[in-house]
Amino acid sequence: MNTPVDPTAARADYYRRIAASHLTPLWESMAALVPHAPRSPAVAHCWRYADLRDALLESGTLITAREAVRRVLILENPGLAGSSAITPSLYAGLQLILPGEIAPSHRHTQSALRLVVEGSRAFTAVDGERVTMHPGDFIITPSWTWHDHGSDADGPVVWLDGLDIPLVRFLDCGFAENLGDDVQPLLRPEGDALARYGSGLMPVGFVPAHGTSPVFAYPYARTRDALRQLARANSVDPHDGIRLAFVNPATGGPAIPTIGTTVQWLPAGFDGRPRRATDGTVFHCIEGEGEARIGDHVFTFAPHDTFVAPSWQATSLHAARETVLFAFSDRPVQQALHLWREERLA
């Protein structure tokens, strides 16, 4: 008479033996590898600027911008502890620079964005051109371009950094290089890129050197005026209010190939309908105040606050007063791979 075989014990023994050959059974992990819908390890979270500003300023008493290279407090998603990531594919942090400081020039394969939070008269230089920073300005550091930061301000200047560090890390294609000098040589006057490429005109024969927008600074004054004009003339989308994408004027595509960037206006009293999409999105409140409902979480937000909506979590926005939100996500990557999906809910 055959002794009954315990299938659980037999499988466990089998898994142990094949592990020696670096093999693992797909059927034990199929549900996690090919889920019915996205189940992001990231969680919804809000970083309130009023709660963390003192800690950010304290960092300026502990280490200089030159020592730190970039003095930043990372906004690390609670569900992604130890990863230096705000979503599985994106990094975010708040960078501080003090009067007279220089954050030395370097370059890297990771693409970066800056959204100025507080203070004026700091500057960013990108591949030979400098731009003075003002609150709400959106500034790009394209992949593998020299960039440094400095400040002629009387007080602290803070901006939100967004980079595709986790994505580049996943692809194993990260490189970095220091210039050797704190600041790079300036080759063009300030405003040159905006004049050449940012007025609906393009120099004859211009060929983009890379996929990033040749306009590397989008002043908030222009952005706010565009939103104001559209608010007067257009109906408000029930999910998004009035939402605009920052684009590359040479291609019509995203301003940064790996990071989609948008700005949206919500009128006072806006009660947004929920929507969900596969791109986990980082929001930053430039002005106004309201409430974000993300999955089972509800966050109130005010100027300078940052919050994140993970992939495929229903998100609705509600404005207590006129509000402007900046946002970034990995949507361009997902769209290029024909993976992006959105669902607008009633």
Residue at 148: amino acid letter: D
Transcribe 299-332 into DSSP letters.
EEE-TT-EEEE-TT--EEEEEEEEEEEEEEESHH
pLDDT in tens, 194-243: 999 998 889 999 988 788 999 999 999 999 999 999 999 888 999 999 99
pLDDT in tens, 85-114: 999 999 999 999 999 999 999 999 999 999
CATH 3.90.1150.10 fits 42-344, yes or no: no
Sign of the CA dihedral 199, 201, 206, 210?
Answer: positive
pLDDT in tens, 258-291: 999 999 999 999 999 999 999 999 999 999 999 9
Q: Give the mean pLDDT of the chain.
A: 96
Give the 3-state secondary structure percentages of the chain, helix then strand then coil, rounded to 5: 20, 35, 45
> How is residue 112 written in tokens?
């970066």
pTM: 0.96
